[in-house]
Amino acid sequence: MSAALDSVPSMIDRIRHDLVGLKMPRALEALDHIVRRLEQGELSALEAIDILLSEELTLRENSRIKTALRMGRLATIKTLAGFDFSFQPSLDRDRIFTLTQLGFVDRHEVVHLLGPPGTGKSHLAVALGVEAVKAGKSVYFCTLADLIAALSRAEREGRLQERIRFFCRPSLLIVDEIGYLPVIAGGGNLFFQLVNARYEKGAMILTSNRGFAEWGDVFGDAVVATALLDRLLHHAVVVQIEGSSYRLRQHAELMPEHVRSKALITPPSFAPPSRERGRPPKNAQFSTSSGAA
């Protein structure tokens, strides 16, 4: 009789078997430790179950975030915790942290981060992207040059609309480095087609070292630039970042004076043309803010 009882798998063995079947590796790993604490009276049965499930959920959530960051091309992780607000004290810290609530994503708005090189635009953009991923939103990050190259290649291959649909899928599209490199011929038109497809359907974060008045030069076409800004400024949050380069902070004395005192990018003076068909702007949050990053 006792031998028969001994041959019956213990409850712990059955739990282990079930955890393997349910593909819960972290819970399986933590099981013995939690059982010991339970036997020693450190935990109640409900507390033990809660800890076991929390351990597994934490592992799965971390795995989800890691995968989403990789799929969104957010390989270099930046966070607001690692951002040096003290270096650019004029930046409105509260305004930036308000953006982490991600209301702009839900409202399909565009966040513009404008400022000279090295002032933290890309850091802030990536940090907001990371917050969006943690909140379960899909994110994709790319530079303008890479984005236009991908669209141009798709156009040559007859897959442009398919590629535009790909870039329309993420809840948040981050386009970095607008104005840093020359835009290829026709690139502005390709970017406009994407912006038009995402307009009022998906949020964007754009970073640029050039003021809006210079976008005609950036895209090589004043008409295309006007059409872009018409949509990108309709539901927009504009953060003006001022100050010196964080990357060059230890070598500022080696920089020429005219570079150190380079004029700040002025707030946008562009006024979108009045819209046809009498469509009023809704929930517009167009504003400017001085800050440094």
What pLDDT, on the 0 to 100 scale, is given for residue 279? 41
pLDDT band at 9 (very low <50, low <70, confident <90, very high): low
Question: At the top level of CATH, which class does the domain 75-291 belong to?
Answer: alpha beta
The answer to whether 160 and 151 have CB atoms below 8 angstroms apart is: yes
pLDDT band at 256 (very low <50, low <70, confident <90, very high): low
The answer to whether 207 and 178 have CB atoms below 8 angstroms apart is: yes
**How do residues 32-67 score in pLDDT, each as one tens digit?**
999 999 989 999 999 999 999 999 999 999 999 999
d(CA 120, CA 82): 11
The answer to whether 235 and 109 have CB atoms below 8 angstroms apart is: yes
DSSP, res 152:
H
pLDDT greater than 80 at residue 250: no
- Laid out side by side, the sheet with 110-114 consists of 139-143, 172-178, 203-208, 110-114, 236-241, 290-291
pLDDT band at 85 (very low <50, low <70, confident <90, very high): confident
Taking residues 137-145, what's their average pLDDT? 97
pLDDT greater than 90 at residue 246: no
Ordered by start, the domain boundaries in the chain are 2-70, 75-291
What pLDDT, on the 0 to 100 scale, is given for residue 82? 86
Q: Report the predicted TM-score, pTM, of the whole model to 2 decimal places.
A: 0.77
